[in-house]
DNA sequence: GTTTGCATGTAAACGGTTACATGATTGG
DNA sequence: CCAATCATGTAACCGTTTACATGCAAAC
């Protein structure tokens, strides 16, 4: 899902500035499945404006750059829905952690333990973040996705906690053949 | 995790050609967490060779390009382990499907149903693929990762099957406000 | 007779990130 | 006093994908 489509999607829920769109990514539970940086959001919004999928109004501010508030246009709404109706790209899950676990036997035991601890902690944080904002979900889709995230994170944590010994009990090994 | 590191990792398990590395990605359960195309693998192997992390021997073949069989060198092994010892990049999960579900209320009901069916089928396939090769896992890490994948896929399927009604019971809606 | 598998590689295009530039205000 | 928040934007860089080029053999 490219940044343009993501911006359009967020704007179907209400007007926002580029800055706010970025915040919504990080705070509103979107960050588990999509991400984007300012370097891609601002150009995307400019292009969407040129194409007529969004409109802008500038709100002058003192001592700060003008806020540029974007609204999705009817054409934008149509284009957004159309992009969801055509075949979706496949999921991409890239997990350096899981990749590393594949080679646990080449790593020192304590390092594997530390990696597991760190990863479990990290997932725990994400789960806590999701639980912290149960209330805020408005549409049925948002609630569904939040519950989905919770379920997956919980299953992950549970697996890691109950199975970690299987790769930890290796004695510290050097990268030997 | 970049393609170079992934190639190095695969080569710790035995010699392989670029072509075979690609196959291993797809067949050996790696594809759930990492991916790469020929267009990135071949240049990566050339660069690794220049840097001394892998060595090549050419096996002449009639009527086909020579097989270039790559082996990891001691320096490559050291570099690979070192790359796993430094802080790992965070996971990236990008799921166009989940993103689309966030906007289920903007889509026609039957379409949401079709998307759920397709996704459930797709995850089911991945799970089946993983189950089909339980035996082949050699290291404890490989077994651990395969079990991890199974657990997560099963939890996902279970959630989708038991909660799909929550976004399906919407009546067919137009993209209206 | 067409598709799939084997086998390597290049070039252009793409999408995105990172770092930089600018700068006031508020909270710790 | 420093960090974070607000606010937009550009440019260089990066890794990767896609499409192309080549071509035989075996399976369907």
Start-to-end CA span in chain A (Å):
42
Q: What is the average pLDDT across B82-92?
A: 92
pLDDT confidence of residue B3: 94
Q: Is the CB of B63 under 7 A from strand D?
A: yes
pLDDT above 50 for A151 = yes
Q: Which of residues 36-75 of B touch A (CB under 8 A)?
A: none
Mean pLDDT of chain B: 89
Whole-angstrom distance, CA of residue B174 vs CA of residue A151: 30
pLDDT confidence of residue B30: 81
What is the model's pTM? 0.91
Q: What is the average pLDDT across B59-84?
A: 89
User: Residue with CA nearest C5 C1'?
Assistant: B19
pLDDT above 70 for A63 = no
Secondary structure of chain A in the HEC alphabet?
CCHHHHHHHHHCCCCECHHHHHHHHHHCCHHHCCCCCHHHHHHHHHHHHHCCCEEEEEECCCCCCCEEEEEECHHHHHHHHHHHHCCCCCCEEECHHHHHHCCHHHCCHHHHHHHHHHHHHHHHHHHHHHHCCCCCCCCHHHHHHHHHHHHHHHHHHHHHHHHCHHHHCCCCCCCCC
pLDDT confidence of residue A26: 83
Q: What residues contact B38, with CB distance under 8 A and at least 6 apart?
A: B18, B19, B22
Q: What is the average pLDDT across A157-165?
A: 98
- In angstroms, the CA of A144 and the C1' of D10 are apart by 39
Q: Which residues of B touch A6 (CB under 8 A)?
A: 99
User: Residue with CA nearest D18 C1'?
Assistant: B39
pLDDT confidence of residue A133: 77
Q: Is the CB of A23 under 7 A from strand D?
A: yes
Lowest mean pLDDT of A67-81, A161-175, B11-25, B132-146, name the range. A161-175
pLDDT above 80 for B28 = no
Band (pLDDT 50/70/90 cuts) for residue B176 is very low
Q: What is the average pLDDT across A165-173?
A: 74
Q: Which residue among A35, A80, A107 sits closest to B84, beta carbon to beta carbon?
A: A107
Lowest mean pLDDT of A48-57, A107-116, A134-143, B64-73, name the range. A134-143
């Amino acid at each position: 899902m490219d940044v343009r489509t993501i911006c359009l999607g967020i704007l179907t829920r209400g007007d926002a500035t580029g800055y706010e769109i970025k915040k919504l990514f990080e705070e509103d539970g979107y960050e588990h499945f999509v991400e984007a940086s300012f370097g891609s959001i601002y150009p995307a919004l400019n292009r969407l404006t040129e194409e007529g999928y969004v409109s802008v109004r500038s709100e002058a501010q003192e001592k700060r750059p003008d806020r540029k508030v974007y609204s999705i246009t009817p054409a934008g709404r149509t284009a957004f829905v159309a992009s969801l109706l055509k075949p979706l790209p496949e999921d991409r899950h890239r997990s350096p952690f899981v990749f590393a676990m594949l080679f646990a036997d080449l790593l020192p035991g304590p390092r594997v333990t530390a990696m597991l601890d760190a990863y479990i902690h990290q997932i725990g944080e994400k789960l806590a973040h999701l639980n912290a904002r149960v209330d805020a979900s408005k549409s049925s889709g948002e609630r569904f996705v939040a519950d989905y995230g919770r379920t997956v994170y919980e299953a992950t944590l549970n697996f890691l906690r109950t199975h970690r010994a299987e790769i930890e009990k290796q004695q510290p090994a050097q990268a030997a053949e």
